[in-house]
Amino acid sequence: MEKAVIVTGAGGFIGSAVALAFGAAGDKVMLTDLNPARLPELAGTINRGPGQAIFSTADVREYREIKRVVDETLQKWQRLDVMAAVAGGGYARLSGKKDKPLLDYTDEDWDLVVDTNLKGVFESIRASAPVLVGQKHGHIIIMGSGTGLKGEAKRALYAAAKSGVNGLMKAAARELGEHNVQINVVNPGRTLRPGDADEKGVFADESRLVQENVLRRIHHDASQTASFFVHLSRMNDVSGQIFNLDSRILM
């Protein structure tokens, strides 16, 4: 049966792939992002296929905004089956500036990265979980990062936020499980975006990233992650887990 899905961060590289995958599966998809630029086109693509889509601008750091998105989803489709909490990103992506050493980050930098990646997930859970609990079914699928497991130089704030996401998910899984609500984290692996390549088509740190992977290759698109989100949303007995979707050994 088709599902009613909210995808936060739907305007992003991975978020849009996740949204399209749910649409291709015939689901009803609410697209939300702080930046609405890509949402109309994305909704149009989904609406030309087997799925349905609507969109609404929201900042996941603000409970009232993500709660409004949940309410709009319920008004449109009378249910919510999946909260796909994809919104987030590292300091460089969020600020447009370069990552920097831990001691060079400021309080404002911390607030930007941690609020977007950790508080945003908290608010997404807080807004959607009461609906899922009331239905006695539903999935919350959170975008994580291997950086939250292994750490990474110059990405301390992102590592802290994503590590916090893992702990938040596990605690929420224990509380929500008795209501048949499933919650998991998906680590997509280092997904290379087209804009990450230099003028010669070489990706920064590509050689190092390849060496970290036991299969000696890395993702060049988001399709595997997107497909896994859809697959996980169809599973009935999995909760409280962290899934790593690449060949790095992180733990």
250 belongs to a structural domain = no
22 belongs to a structural domain = yes
189 belongs to a structural domain = yes
Q: Which two tokens stand for residue 197?
A: 């390549």
The pLDDT, as a whole number, for residue 198 is 65
- Cα separation, 247 vs 203, whole angstroms: 18
125 belongs to a structural domain = yes
The pLDDT, as a whole number, for residue 194 is 66
Instruction: Tell me the sheet residues that pair with 181.
Output: 138
Q: Considering the entire predicted model, what is its pTM?
A: 0.95
**CATH number assigned to the domain comprising residue 35:** 3.40.50.720
Give backbone dihedrals phi and psi of 54, rounded to 5 degrees, phi first: -130, 170
168 belongs to a structural domain = yes
129 belongs to a structural domain = yes
249 belongs to a structural domain = no
Total domains in the chain come to: 1
Element spanning 186, H or E: strand 181-187
pLDDT tens per residue, range 163-213: 999 999 999 999 999 999 999 999 998 777 766 666 666 666 777 778 888
Q: Is 164 in contact with 118 (CB distance < 8 Å)?
A: yes
Give backbone dihedrals phi and psi of 204, rounded to 5 degrees, phi first: -60, 135
Domain that holds residue 153: 4-244
Catalytic residues: 158
Q: Which two tokens stand for residue 103?
A: 């001691």
149 belongs to a structural domain = yes
pLDDT tens per residue, range 6-61: 999 999 999 999 999 999 999 999 999 999 999 999 999 999 999 999 999 999 99
The pLDDT, as a whole number, for residue 247 is 82
pLDDT tens per residue, range 116-131: 999 999 999 999 999 9
Tokens 């992977």 correspond to 213
Q: Which two tokens stand for residue 34?
A: 């702080």
